[in-house]
Chains A and B, each alone.
Chain A
Amino acid sequence: NAGVTQTPKFRILKIGQSMTLQCAQDMNHNYMYWYRQDPGMGLKLIYYSVGAGITDKGEVPNGYNVSRSTTEDFPLRLELAAPSQTSVYFCASSSIDRNTEAFFGQGTRLTVV
């Protein structure tokens, strides 16, 4: 099992550019999450999804968009990159079964210059 796979691992963007961070899981998990982690800081929830076709905002959704057309994939879109979006982005997933572990991808380190 690959678990949660994120691509790319690293990316440098110029201000105003757009990109999509990819996240895929092969565990048939219903719940998927996107977090950002600024240097030395905690994990802030950007968006989450409880199943295909259903997404909701977390604490810091501004500047991001998501979609969930399949159970496996949960891409995160940055439309107009800003320096404030420089961060490490983690995708995670967990089962719809009650009270189970969330598994994290290896992260995407994004720098906006």
Chain B
Amino acid sequence: GENVEQHPSTLSVQEGDSAVIKCTYSDSASNYFPWYKQELGKRPQLIIDIRSNVGEKKDQRIAVTLNKTAKHFSLHITETQPEDSAVYFCAAKTDSWGKLQFGAGTQVVVTP
């Protein structure tokens, strides 16, 4: 089955700097790659997603890139702010069964 690996597990950045989180997946049939943000004590919420027919997608300060050949995708957060502090999860999904597999998560801490 699908295996999603996520790195790093923790990331500390200075406010205003950029943060990058990387994920790899094993199932070449995966074709949907969402990123979720989870604030302390709350449910995960989608922040951005990318489909396999697209290499890059941007939404204001966040962007996601996908390399299907290498089977990896990354989340980029620019101009980080304290409210970006949270746990971020990548995930991968295939059409065949709809199973959504998550990475282990990255704790991002933005220090003022």
Contacts and interface: CB of A to CB of B under 8 A. Distances in A.
Nearest to A109: B41
A56 to B, nearest CB: 7
Contact of A101 (B46, B95, B98, B105): B46
Nearest to B106: A42
Given A99-B32, A101-B34, A102-B34, A90 B100 contact: no
Interface in A30-68: 30-31, 33, 35, 41-45, 48, 50, 56, 58
A94 interface: yes
B101 A98 contact: no
Interface in B35-62: 42-46, 49, 51
A18 to B, nearest CB: 25
B38 to A, nearest CB: 9
B104 interface: yes
Contact of B98 (A43, A48, A107): A48
A23 interface: no
Contacts of B105: 41-43
Interface string A1-41: 00000000000000000000000000000110101000001
B55 to A, nearest CB: 15
Contacts, number: 60
A92 interface: yes
Interface string B9-52: 00000000000000000000001101000000011111001010
Interface of B: 6, 31-32, 34, 42-46, 49, 51, 89, 93, 95, 97-105
28 contacts: A30-B98, A33-B100, A35-B102, A41-B105, A42-B6, A42-B104, A43-B44, A45-B99, A45-B101, A48-B99, A48-B100, A50-B97, A50-B98, A56-B97, A58-B99, A90-B43, A92-B100, A94-B100, A96-B98, A98-B31, A98-B32, A98-B95, A99-B31, A99-B93, A101-B49, A102-B46, A104-B43, A105-B43
